[in-house]
Amino acid sequence: MTAPELLHLPSAKIIAVTSGKGGVGKTFVAANLAAALARAGRKVLVLDADLGLANLDVVLNLFPKITLHDVFTGKHSLPDAMLRAPGGFWVLLAGSGMVEYSRMTGEIRDQLQKVITEVEPRFDHVLLDTGAGISDVVLYTVSLAGEVLVVVTPEPTSLTDAYATIKVLANTQGRRKIRLLVNQTRSIGEGRAVRQQLQQVVDRYVNPALDSPVRLELLGEIPADSAVRECVLRRTLMLEALPGAPASIAMVAVATRMLPG
């Protein structure tokens, strides 16, 4: 792991887990990365920020009585909405009441920002499990994070959509360092190839117009693994249910790279 694109720098505290294309594994990554970081002794919160299509609760088999919706509407306080997930991390779940938040309003902006400001001092890492694409809601949620992790698969459609996301984040948020997590790889080193491919396109079409270039950094790669689907179907956390699965082992390696030292 001595490739120059693999960095071992400590991460920003608030990390947006986002993607161009949907269904590439953001929620899977957010939940299992959180579990791996928790196992390393870090206090971690995952915020289900895919407000319109929230499903972190489903994956973790949690049935929240109090959701972000209740916090937004002032019915409950933020600490009341925090749930401990299997895996030893904390979650703030959106719940199905959030369907109405598929459009971003000033009020939701303020509420989201308030929630993040409030949780920030209490955790070592806060992962925002965002929606896919470049809608207002997604871009706003990502804008609240110090660091962006773009989940991408080697599929051409996922690459194209990841490129669109990267371009918009560079142009509208001034992002110059964007981390990549290549999910569902079929061979070792495919993550590196994907990073290189995306970097080439960015160098050609995005960077010439910028004052300083966008640099894509590979945080790691997670292999396509039947254990992932199996765990989603059983509604169990992969890292707990099948810690020896190749995808679990890769996830722990990714988490290690996010820790200082």
Ligand X SMILES: Nc1ncnc2c1ncn2[C@@H]1O[C@H](COP(=O)(O)OP(=O)(O)O)[C@@H](O)[C@H]1O
179-188 burial code (b ≥16 CB/10 A, e <16): bbbbbbbeee
Residue 48 near which of Mg ion, ligand X, none (CB within 5-8 Å, type-dependent): none
Of the residues 19, 67, 111, 141, which one makes contact with ligand X according to CB under 6 A = 19
- Contacts (CB under 5 A) with Mg ion, residues 5-44: 26-27
- Work out which of 11, 165, 183, 248 binds ligand X, going by CB under 6 A: 183
Q: How are beta strands 82-84 and 90-92 bridged, if at all?
A: antiparallel
Q: Closest distance between ligand X and the C-beta of residue 145, in Å? A: 16
Residues near 171 by Cβ (< 8 Å), separated by ≥ 6? 206
Cα–Cα distance between 231 and 242 in angstroms, integer? 8
Applying CB under 6 A, the span of 15-23, 97-105, 166-174, 186-194 interacting with ligand X comes to 15-23
241 scored as a contact of ligand X (CB under 6 A): no
- Residue among 218, 215, 225, 216 at smallest CA distance from 253: 218
Is residue 228 at the binding interface for ligand X, with CB under 6 A as the rule?
Answer: yes
CA 46 to centroid of chain Cα atoms: 9
Report CA torsion sign: 19, 24, 28, 33.
Answer: negative
**Subset of residues 66 to 125 that bind Mg ion, contact rule: CB under 5 A:** none
Q: At closest approach, how far in Å is the CB of 150 from ligand X?
A: 11
- Using the rule CB under 5 A, is 141 a contact of Mg ion? no
> Nearer Cβ to ligand X, position 19 or 67?
19
Nearer residue to Mg ion within complex by CB, 86 or 193: 86
Question: Residue 184 interacts with Mg ion (CB under 5 A)?
Answer: no
**Residues listed for the chain:** 261
**Stretch of residues binding ligand X (CB under 6 A), selected from 5-13, 23-31, 108-116, 134-142:** 23-31
Identify each DSSP E strand in the chain by its residue range.
Answer: 14-19, 44-49, 82-84, 90-92, 125-132, 147-152, 177-185, 215-223
Chain residues that interact with ligand X, rule: CB under 6 A: 19, 22-28, 183-184, 222, 224-225, 228-229, 232, 247
